[in-house]
Amino acid sequence: MKLNHRWYKALLPLAFLVAWSFQCFAAPLELTLEESINLALKNNYDIKIAQTDRDKSLWAINQAKANKNVSLSFSHVDERYNTPPTIYTHAYTYTTEFSNELSLSLPLYSGGKLESQLNQAKLDLASADLDVDIAKQQLTLNVVTYYFNVLEYRNEQAICQQTVDNYAEHLSLVNTKYNLGFVAKTDVLSSEVDLADARDSLSKAQNNYLNAVATLNNALGLAHDTELLLKDDFKYEKKPMTLPECLAYALNHRPELSQYKVKVTSAEEDVNIAKSGYLPTVGLTLDQGWNDSNFPGGKNSNWLAEVTVSVSVFDSGLTKSKVEQAKRSLSKVQDQSSQKRDTILLDVRQYYLSMREAETRIGTSEVSVNQASENLMIQKARYTAGAGTNIDILDAVLALDKAKKNYTEALYDYNTARANLEQAMGAPVL
């Protein structure tokens, strides 16, 4: 017992060391934007649900086809019954009978109802395929947005860190000058206040970054605390298409518009199905039967061939009511289609203009960053030489911080507006 205890005490530190090593040396997951999208498409539940609905629609086509084809059924009945006494029998008569029946039925004409139902099933499959495309495009946009959010907060965190470093460097210089009696205590205090504010901003940026990473991990189907190393960064690539070209592309490629065309056609089939109530139906039935008092009842063959024609002579306006309801549903879908078209075109226009506006800011903010960097260098040199003031340095650091954040924000706005534009246009998934 004492030996086992000694082994336990010896192995326990080793176990902690191994666990610590795995935690410390686990490499972060490196992902490009395209790899992130592919990972999300593989793991996302919305895509799996849309694909399941698509498979369900495929089976609905088989069901609609079966309604138009031959159906064959077989039945076997075992019976024993009694017959009450009569003036001739004076006693109960007991009868045992076994019967078999084979029945074949075929709808010859349904007034177009079965054909329209089959067409609707095929249209539902086409709509389900488009649902998969829509889900993929929406997921792609979400992943791109979340990826860019991580980049935005990562860059903001780096900018805030640089600002903290600039303030800390300046505070060290101010303290040196104060100790030598060259500057007043107010310079030290104001520098310390700005450094504290900068550290607060850095803390907020770090928290935003961690939350953005958790959101991206959730979209990718990863554990929320997975450490990520994003290999892509913001880049400026000019989109060559004009606004009219983007609008025309959206009209031809946006899956929602194609889906509404399918929905309109399906609503037209609903009208045809309702109108089939005015038309006759024709069905063919073939029966073959056998019955016998001995099991299994395979004697006494009998057969029946029957063609049934059925037509509604008067239904108190039921069919007319169904037709009018179907027509109103068709009108509603047509209006929804037009509404969706207008919404998509408006989205394309707004995202395009937002993209161009951010594109302009990229150039101006880049110039501002260069000017602010040069100004900080000048102010540092002047302050070191005793020609500048403390507030000049603090203002210069703040101006550089703002210029860098404006530049990063412009790149973020441009890339996100472009991603939204491409989704609004119905651009294919990467």
Neighbour tally for 302: CB within 10 Å: 11
Give the CATH number of domain 28-90+110-282+322-425; options: 1.10.3720.10, 1.20.1600.10, 3.40.50.1370, 1.10.357.10. Answer: 1.20.1600.10
Q: How far apart are CA 132 and CA 54, in angstroms?
A: 8
- Strands of 233-301, DSSP E: 281-292
User: Who has greater pLDDT, 341 or 8?
Assistant: 341
- Tens digit of pLDDT for each residue in 213-226? 999 999 999 999 99
Q: Is omega for the bond preceding 255 within 30 degrees of 0, making it cis? A: no
At residue 386, does pLDDT exceed 70? yes
The answer to whether 246 touches 66, Cβ cutoff 8 Å, is no
Name the phi and psi angles at 83, rounded to 5. Answer: -115, 130
- DSSP for 197-217 reads HHHHHHHHHHHHHHHHHHHHH
pLDDT of 5 over the 90 cut: no
Q: Do the strands 71-83 and 93-109 form a parallel or antiparallel pair, or are they unpaired? A: antiparallel
What is residue 4's predicted lDDT score, i.e. its pLDDT? 52
Region of residue 2 (left: phi > 0; alpha: psi -120 to 50; beta: else) = alpha
* 82-105 confidence digits (pLDDT tens): 888 877 777 888 889 999 999 999
Domain boundaries, the chain: 28-90+110-282+322-425
Q: Report the side by side order of strands in the sheet with 302-310.
A: 71-83, 93-109, 281-292, 302-310
Residue with tokens 């609609």: 64
Helices marked H in 292-389? 318-385
pTM over 0.85: no
CB 159 within 8 A of CB 365: no
What is the token pair recorded at 320? 């007319």
